Structure 1
């Protein structure tokens, strides 16, 4: 959406007036508001709340202050800085997109909408948010908060992830976006969804656009937007081998380039305790004297993972020096590595050396 359209309705003016009085204007990516910082914040804010992102954002830009630094950084550093935010494909795509910008766009994020949206991990809404907030260009956005606001405001039925519902919401998003103060409007509608038009118990009494809200008028705020159709999450099981040497270091193994936790450092795994000896031998260790630690569950968006940790001394030193996918790691080094959150918590909860 490049051409400005008439937005003579009351929605944008009312929202901007509310933003001037109540909006969030001191977020770390707003000053300085560079394309790189806006882009990084938008990627971090996908599936993650602002309060959680702030600390991660500051740590990330302190280490990698601009696009060139990100593009040249080792993927392990990027994943280490991201570790704990989850959805690690976002970090990998961020890294790949930075490298493509260096290779194809002169080391900068492209200002062309189509070129920007085509970069890994960006897409239609994020591209609009970057162009609107970094350069003030008129582009609509449709993240999760905005979907909720517009579904209620305009009474849009259906799950926002369905094609027909998404199309209707995009039409409203484009129609409501003003021709001026686009950066402020973009932040305002995200703020409204995050702080007022929340999923449970929306604060309709302080909403600046409540007068025209169909969901409020029809008392359907609890039904809109419609939830994703229910689906039973399957349960999978795994046994993680916590192989520790005499110095207390733990053997880590890099996961494959695709699949869950792709390219992160984790623990050697097998599907069951019964198969643990074979999995240990594959990395040059023995688990004859292993003991089972307390099992726990990690919930993904589409399944539950039951994890049983098996702690053992590495009686035969694993040949980590001969393999790129194996490395010994001391507790002091965990923070600098890209580790899945449940693996990090497991390692930090280990009992003292036997």
Structure 2
């Protein structure tokens, strides 16, 4: 296994709270295994607040400014979902463009009781633009802030049109958990994941609003940048080192693994700026940029993952790892040869039973691993500490 010292400049991070490698038991402050040291934190004493009512599966409406937003919530505490230990980690899972919370719930399965987590599947507002499958402008689909087709002004809400604020929605979700769960919620273990445009938004939050985020897990994300010729966003400025785990297939027809050229995605007065042009970065270079953001000093590139192969589809998964980083964080990039625009799974799901571009039903093309299981185990290693 070849170790290489990164020769790129290390970004100086404004450290407030920092995600650190920690022990999986938050009730202790003993050193973590694997070389990271958990920062000492307050031990959990007896709880005087009552057990939260929790959500087994519940749709909740939240007012964000003057806009009603919706989230599908799952969590321990109800008669049908009781588990330990406490406090419970929080996972927010964002759907892709044109999708919905129910589909994302079915794909990611973070609410499985074995993960014992508070899980939120938010719903995006509509945007107006063009994606990789549309031949003309004017395609109206749910989406998340930061994508060129996700117009800052929400179609059909005006005049004057509502201004999209998915970042404020994220803050409202954290407040919802705080109100419902109190000290039963591990607010130092907020994890953000997403698929496609939802993955792009997880990256967006980490870059520009990551002070409450302990780790992110973007899957098949496009990570749009407006300036041609760049594979890293020069304005991305995380407030602390952020652990990143990412999955992407090199046969993805919707989000090209090697990146895309000019992509004119938004026209008209709903756009800001008008006539925005965006592009998709090269995915390996995007992952390397996160290594730079986190000040990682070592890397291993495209190492085969033992047992992660599907001979019937020609799929095989490789791992690029960036480590020896500030805050003992890591960046993991899983590259699947012949992998599609899917949430990797060893079982049929809504992704691997549809064509990448036409979305026609096809025989299931199983992945080489269960991405959700790998993501949750990664999340467990990191905690946000002051």
TM-score, normalised via structure 1 length: 0.22
Structure (1 or 2) with the greater strand fraction: 2
Computing the radius of gyration from Cα coordinates, the structure with the larger value is: 1
TM-score, normalised via structure 2 length: 0.20
Structure (1 or 2) with the greater helix fraction: 1
